[in-house]
Amino acid sequence: MPSNPKLTWEPIRLQLRTPFRIAHGVDETRIAHWIRLKDDSGWGEGTIPPYYGISSEEMAAVWRKAAQSVMPFPERVEDILAWVGEDGPAPARCALELALLDRLGKQNAFPLYRLLHLPEPKASVTSFTIGIDTPESMAEQARKVPQYPVIKVKLGSEDDEARISAIRKARPDACLRVDANAGWSLPQALDMVKRLAVYDLEMIEQPLPREQIAEMGEVQAATSIPVVADESVQTMADVHALGKAGVQGINLKLMKVGGILKGLEMVRASQIYGMRLMLGCMVETSLGVTAMAHLSGLAEWVDLDPPLLVSNDPFDGIFYDSGLKIGIPLRNGIGVTLRD
């Protein structure tokens, strides 16, 4: 590789403050990847949980090809998707795109949302996530954060109703969202939406496995609580299928769909069906989460709390007030800097 290559990358092992259990498994660490364009002109992040089955080498192959490209970096937003291409894992393409957008924002003295002609970001309240544990432990975690008005509860195993019941008793004031992470079967989901109706839930996220899109529509038809697709939203075809099935919302994640530009295309498609938008993320650094926060002016819900869950985030970017209203720094590009 040349002594001053077009881009470099390095892994960052993120340490979770507490072990984080969801229906897919339990983690204490996650591996993020920091992408830096030549002369630090733009930064991006590529991070994906292990249950997606994507290796770091698959990600690096995309960046290695880009580093060796003779094509100059694009000078217009509309040329970025063609420069990045369609090959390789979505989070690797996302990292490249974020770095190229960050570069153009800095070069043109625009924050990312202005570069993309998006509404000004909103000071939305993000949810605070509680991973799967015993009902008593989850209730205690909810009780310890009385200042957080919105709590997202991970479900998808035995005793799910007991978990919600305990948390609701501990926090009768809280707005509760539940996320099964594809952990229920259709019969379980149809049963659970009836049993959970008494707990005043704001939404039920991804009750079924990714490929069961028509069945997600059946779950939605059985409840007035919005069903929000997450793992089922990875392509434009998924958005159309979910809309036709009658699912009320989608959870957009940049790493899952390949970046902001693809994501915005999917948002526009979802609006055809009147679907509601949630902004989410993987367990990422503030680099990726801040990039997503630039889209908050488009969204009804935000779930952007990973910087609160990670103990060694190397970046300074998105910030939170005492009640978890989000804000982004007034800097050009994505707007993150390295912590001192």
114 found inside a domain: no
If asked whether residues 102 and 202 sit together in one domain, one would say no
Whether residue 49 has pLDDT greater than 70: yes
Which residues, at least 6 apart from 100, have a Cβ–Cβ distance to it below 8 Å? Answer: 37, 42, 44, 73, 74, 80, 83, 84
For the chain, the domain total comes to: 2
Q: What percent of the chain is modeled with pLDDT above 70?
A: 98
| CATH number of the domain bearing residue 240 | 3.20.20.120
If asked whether residues 173 and 25 sit together in one domain, one would say no
Whether residue 67 has pLDDT greater than 70: yes
121 found inside a domain: no
β-sheet bridge partners, residue 326:
320
In which element (H, E) is residue 83 found? helix 80-84
Which pLDDT value is given to residue 74? 98
Mean pLDDT calculated for residue range 19-40 = 85
Q: Given pLDDT bands bounded at 50, 70 and 90, which one contains residue 2?
A: very low
If asked whether residues 174 and 323 sit together in one domain, one would say yes
24 found inside a domain: yes
If asked whether residues 244 and 311 sit together in one domain, one would say yes
The Cα 96–Cα 98 span in angstroms is: 6
Given 109, 141, 172, the domain boundary residue is 109
Whether residue 4 has pLDDT greater than 60: no
DSSP 8-state symbol, 182: T
Q: At what angle do helices 236-245 and 213-221 cross, to 10 degrees?
A: 30
If asked whether residues 164 and 285 sit together in one domain, one would say yes
Q: What is the pLDDT of residues 266-299, one digit of tens each?
A: 999 999 999 999 999 999 999 999 999 999 999 9
| CATH number of the domain bearing residue 20 | 3.30.390.10
The boundaries of the domain holding residue 322 are 128-338
Given 109, 143, 160, the domain boundary residue is 109
1 found inside a domain: no
If asked whether residues 208 and 304 sit together in one domain, one would say yes
Whether residue 21 has pLDDT greater than 80: no
If asked whether residues 139 and 101 sit together in one domain, one would say no
Which pLDDT value is given to residue 23? 67
If asked whether residues 88 and 137 sit together in one domain, one would say no
Q: Given pLDDT bands bounded at 50, 70 and 90, which one contains residue 59?
A: very high
Mean pLDDT calculated for residue range 197-222 = 98
Q: Given pLDDT bands bounded at 50, 70 and 90, which one contains residue 1?
A: very low
235 found inside a domain: yes
DSSP H helices, 109-221, are 112-115, 135-143, 160-170, 186-195, 213-221
Which pLDDT value is given to residue 285? 98
Whether residue 237 has pLDDT greater than 90: yes
Whether residue 28 has pLDDT greater than 90: no
193 found inside a domain: yes
Place of tokens 């496995």: 209
If asked whether residues 64 and 133 sit together in one domain, one would say no
Which residues, at least 6 apart from 191, have a Cβ–Cβ distance to it below 8 Å? Answer: none
Which pLDDT value is given to residue 50? 81
In a 3-state reduction of DSSP, which class is residue 104? helix
Place of tokens 């039920």: 204
167 found inside a domain: yes
Whether residue 326 has pLDDT greater than 60: yes
Whether residue 181 has pLDDT greater than 90: yes
117 found inside a domain: no
In a 3-state reduction of DSSP, which class is residue 44? strand
Locate 316 and state its tokens. Answer: 């300074």
Give how far Cα 258 sits from Cα of 96, 102, 128, 176, 234, Å. Answer: 9, 16, 25, 29, 9
Which residues, at least 6 apart from 79, have a Cβ–Cβ distance to it below 8 Å? Answer: none
Mean pLDDT calculated for residue range 97-109 = 99
Mean pLDDT calculated for residue range 32-55 = 92
Least confidently predicted of 27-31, 205-209, 246-250, 296-300: 27-31
- Mean pLDDT of the chain, nearest integer: 95
